[in-house]
């Protein structure tokens, strides 16, 4: 019975594919219009063009868009996406079939008049060459950058299975209902929330757990020469004004066998909140995070052969919008948001210090922030974790699942404050000892203390 059950669990697992959509005439967002409607609505006057290559991910796109370099030059295709009138990032959970698409895999195969094109290449450089040839001949279009497995000309739209991929990247944590919703704190996979998902159990050879009570959204503005630093404000989303939801496949736990193969662990955190949250600092209100937003981001942890692990990437999946504070007294003077289609990957994750030894969890009351650019070049938005803990292996499969006792805390044994106190005490103690020794070294005249010696005579006159 064990083998069929394992196969059933394996085949239920679904992966998603990264995709970037851009158009010079069709308005696009992260959810609308659906890809099905784009396929059905494509025409010769406004064709739908799929640009696919085997290794495409948002990370690869960001690399070619030079988002990791301040003065980097984007590749031609990435630059075209950045300059497009409309663009959006999505995650495709299925393979889409386009049986009537005109296939273009070599220069010269393009023929005018088709409603759908499938431009495929083995690598990014060839894809850029083919896409430049096709897009230059079309006036109005919508294009989709995606993985080669996300689009096919064969019949039968199927879900992507993990039977041959998980040996490299690990397996999904377990089978679960498509969506699990609950109040904060976030606990994913939701092992101990049996009332929500029917009882999610960790596997014997793979288990991981992430806990987070909330996030802090930090906004800062880069403006001129500010002697005391750039202005900043913090807005916190916690259990009082937030919920989380978990979808099937949001967590990937690497298997024990992958430990020497650079095991990869993935957590997708999905938060939503209804009421607006105000960002403040010591000077009062500075900005507002409008309510009704869904905030999603992906954390990827990676092990190395030295038995250490660390946060490898922090990718924002949905945009975060901030607005002017009530009364307009803050440093944010206009509404802006992040742009995940262009700058989805966070900078500064190394300063967060999320790392540890294999077998240890990592815990932090308030972490450092990871930063994202916004559509306003002078504004940066950061995300910091509040009461956060993550463990990649060895979750105890008891009645209630819990972390191991082996924990690496973001605050070391001697914090900055405790070190200042200890050093100050040592300085004061040194001064006291120095003063005591100085007084103790004073020499007194003792020759008149001997009664056999001539005594000192002091004449007293009235």
328-363 pLDDT, tens digit each: 788 888 899 998 888 888 888 888 889 988 888 999
The DSSP result for 224-245, as a single string, is: S--TT---EEEEEE-GGG-EEE
Q: Quick one: 185 and 290 in the same domain?
A: yes
In the three-class reduction of DSSP (H, G, I as helix; E, B as strand; rest coil), residue 195 is classed as helix
Residue 372 binned pLDDT confidence (cut-offs 50, 70, 90):
very high
Of 409, 429, 455, which residue sits at a domain end? Answer: 409
Where in the sequence is the domain holding 6, given as residue range(s)?
2-152
Q: Quick one: 208 and 327 in the same domain?
A: yes
Q: Quick one: 145 and 218 in the same domain?
A: no
Q: Quick one: 117 and 211 in the same domain?
A: no
- Sequence-separated (6 or more) residues with CB below 8 Å from residue 317: 89, 91, 268, 296, 297, 298, 340, 344
Query: Is there a contact between 383 and 393 (Cβ–Cβ < 8 Å)?
Result: no
Is 174's pLDDT higher than 50?
no
CA dist., res. 309 & res. 297, Å (int): 20
Prediction pTM value: 0.56
- Residue 424 within any structural domain of the chain: no
- Residue 446 within any structural domain of the chain: no
Q: Quick one: 253 and 109 in the same domain?
A: no
Q: What is the pLDDT of residues 35-46, one digit of tens each?
A: 888 888 888 888
- Residue 10 within any structural domain of the chain: yes
Nearest to 65 by CA among 342, 444, 381, 336: 342
Q: Quick one: 84 and 58 in the same domain?
A: yes
Q: Quick one: 175 and 290 in the same domain?
A: yes
Q: Quick one: 79 and 34 in the same domain?
A: yes
- Residue 182 within any structural domain of the chain: yes
Question: Going edge to edge, which strands form the sheet with 17-23?
Answer: 86-92, 17-23, 142-147, 48-53, 116-120, 102-104
Q: Quick one: 223 and 339 in the same domain?
A: yes
- Residue 458 within any structural domain of the chain: no
Q: Quick one: 27 and 148 in the same domain?
A: yes
Nearest to 269 by CA among 295, 242, 249: 295
Of 152, 186, 208, which residue sits at a domain end? Answer: 152
In the three-class reduction of DSSP (H, G, I as helix; E, B as strand; rest coil), residue 447 is classed as helix
Q: Quick one: 378 and 232 in the same domain?
A: yes
Q: Quick one: 112 and 259 in the same domain?
A: no
Task: State both tokens at 53.
Answer: 């290559």
Q: Which H or E run includes 116?
A: strand 116-120
- Work out how many domains the chain is built from and give that number: 2
Q: What is the pLDDT of residues 317-337, one digit of tens each?
A: 999 999 998 877 888 888 999
- Residue 100 within any structural domain of the chain: yes
412-423 mean pLDDT: 84
């Amino acid at each position: 019975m064990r083998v069929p059950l394992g196969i059933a669990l394996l085949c239920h697992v679904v992966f998603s594919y990264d995709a970037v959509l851009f158009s010079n005439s069709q308005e696009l967002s992260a959810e609308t219009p659906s890809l099905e409607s784009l396929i059905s609505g494509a025409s010769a006057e406004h064709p739908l063009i799929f640009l696919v290559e085997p290794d495409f991910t948002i990370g690869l796109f960001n690399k070619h868009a030079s988002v990791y370099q301040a003065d980097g030059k984007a590749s031609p295709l990435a630059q075209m996406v950045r300059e497009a009138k409309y663009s959006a990032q999505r995650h495709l959970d299925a393979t889409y079939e386009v049986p009537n698409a005109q296939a273009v895999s070599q220069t010269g195969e393009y023929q005018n008049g088709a409603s759908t094109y499938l431009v495929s290449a083995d690598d990014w450089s060839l894809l850029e060459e083919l896409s430049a040839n096709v897009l230059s001949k079309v006036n109005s279009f919508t294009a989709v950058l995606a993985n080669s497995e996300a689009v096919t000309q064969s019949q039968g739209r199927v879900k992507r299975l993990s039977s041959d991929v998980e040996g490299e990247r690990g397996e999904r944590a377990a089978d679960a209902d498509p969506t699990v919703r609950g109040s904060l704190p976030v606990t994913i996979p939701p092992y101990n929330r049996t009332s929500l998902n029917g009882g999610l159990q960790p596997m014997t050879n793979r288990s991981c757990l992430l806990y987070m009570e909330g996030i802090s959204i930090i906004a800062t503005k880069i403006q001129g020469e500010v002697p005391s630093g750039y202005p900043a404000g913090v807005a916190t989303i916690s259990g009082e004004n937030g919920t989380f939801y978990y979808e099937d496949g949001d967590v990937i736990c690497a298997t024990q066998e992958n430990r020497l193969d650079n095991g990869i662990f993935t957590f997708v955190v999905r938060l939503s909140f209804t009421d607006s949250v105000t960002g403040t600092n010591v000077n009062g209100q500075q900005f507002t995070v409008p309510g009704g937003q869904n905030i999603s981001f992906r954390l990827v942890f990676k092990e190395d052969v030295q038995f250490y692990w660390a946060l490898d990437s922090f990718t924002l999946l949905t945009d975060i919008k901030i607005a002017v504070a009530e009364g307009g007294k803050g440093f944010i003077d206009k509404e802006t948001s992040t742009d995940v289609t262009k700058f989805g990957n966070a900078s500064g994750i190394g300063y967060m210090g999320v790392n540890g030894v294999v077998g240890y969890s990592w815990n932090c009351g308030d972490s450092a922030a990871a930063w994202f650019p916004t559509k306003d070049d002078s504004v940066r938005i950061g995300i910091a974790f509040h009461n956060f803990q993550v463990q990649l292996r060895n979750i105890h499969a008891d009645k209630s699942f819990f972390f191991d006792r082996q924990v690496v805390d973001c605050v070391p044994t001697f914090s900055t404050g405790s070190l200042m106190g200890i050093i100050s005490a040592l300085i004061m103690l040194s001064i006291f000892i120095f003063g005591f020794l100085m007084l103790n070294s004073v020499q007194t005249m003792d020759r008149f203390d001997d009664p056999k010696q001539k005594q000192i005579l002091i004449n007293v006159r009235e």
